[in-house]
Structure 1
Amino acid sequence: MARLLPPSQRRLLTGIALSAALVAPPAAADDADRIQGERLFRSQCVGCHSLAPGVHIAGPSLNGLIGRPAGSLPGFGYSATLEAADFDWNAETLDAFLAAPAEFLPGNRMVLWGLAERPRRQIIRYLEALAADAEP
């Protein structure tokens, strides 16, 4: 039969176990954001954007978006504003764009009034994970 630990050691071990359970490692937080980002993407973005290469809906395909110059995807009719834009899509530019598309890039045709910080971060994390998965 196993011996029980003294109460002071049980409290210490219980405290350590609870602390470990309450503090999610960064990878777990990133995974949770990515999973929620996929859900948000499917509920809010797929009506206008595909993730398939070359498949455009109302908006351009977002396949390979991270690192791509804005307004550069062949086969999609961008607004003059996006065609003239001089930046690459990354976490920072996506964050600013998804927060307030009309303010970030006046004259673009994105039909979105802006997303709150957490959903933006989650969708961006999902798009970054897709880009990382696609790397050879």
Structure 2
Amino acid sequence: MTKFIYAAAAALLAGPGFADGHAATGDAEAGEQQFGRQCIACHIVANADGDVLAGRSARTGPNLFGIAGRELGAVEDFRYGDAIVDLGAAGQVWTEEAFVAYVQDPTGWLREATEDPRARGKMAYRVRNEQDAIDMYAFLATFGADVDSN
């Protein structure tokens, strides 16, 4: 499966979907390891068929399948905070830059992005290392609507 993920990532990175600013610059393999250390307690990556591709069926946080380029606060049936939903409704999408900043300081990033000093994020965990966050985005970018994940 890991070989397929890297092949899919290469195809995605070469394709037009990443020409619009959603390119991942990190190391997907390192990101897979960091996801396993830092994210699986709350998040999964599951395709539309419900197959869990990464994680352990955790449901505290939203499903991260297809996050690259996806509108913020857009996973159906997940209860997001108002600030992230408002940003998504305004057209904000997950880019590497937004993802990295958000996972390092969710509430701080939301306050800056919304220009609302009272905005709050529901994600309490912070990724401490910027490179880890960049690598996690690269890993997560290998899973998307255009990638056959079976």
Question: Residue 129 in 1 paired to residue 134 in 2?
Answer: no
**One-letter amino acid matched to 1:93:** A
Corresponding residue for residue 21 of structure 2: none
Structure 1 stretches of at least 4 aligned residues deviating more than 6 Å after TM superposition:
none
Question: Residue 75 in 1 paired to residue 77 in 2?
Answer: yes
Corresponding residue for residue 10 of structure 1: none
> Which of 29, 33, 53 is residue 35 of structure 1 equivalent to?
29
> Which of 57, 60, 80 is residue 58 of structure 1 equivalent to?
60
Cα pair 2:28 2:138 within 8 Å, conserved: yes
Corresponding residue for residue 97 of structure 1: 102
Cα distance in structure 2, aligned partners of 1:91 and 1:132: 17
Output the TM-score relative to the length of structure 2: 0.62
Helix, strand or coil at the partner of 2:134? helix
Cα pair 2:68 2:95 within 8 Å, conserved: yes
Output the TM-score relative to the length of structure 1: 0.68
Which residues of structure 1 form unaligned runs of 5+?
1-26
Helix, strand or coil at the partner of 1:131? coil
What is the RMSD computed on CA atoms of the aligned residues?
Answer: 2.8
Helix, strand or coil at the partner of 1:130? coil
Question: Residue 111 in 1 paired to residue 113 in 2?
Answer: no
RCO higher in 1 or 2 (8 Å CA, sep ≥ 6)?
2
Cα distance in structure 2, aligned partners of 1:40 and 1:133: 24
**One-letter amino acid matched to 1:112:** Y
More helix by share: 1
Cα pair 1:56 1:76 within 8 Å, conserved: no
Give per-residue Cα distances to partners, 1:28-53, cap 9 Å, x unaligned: xx9x8211100110111011111014
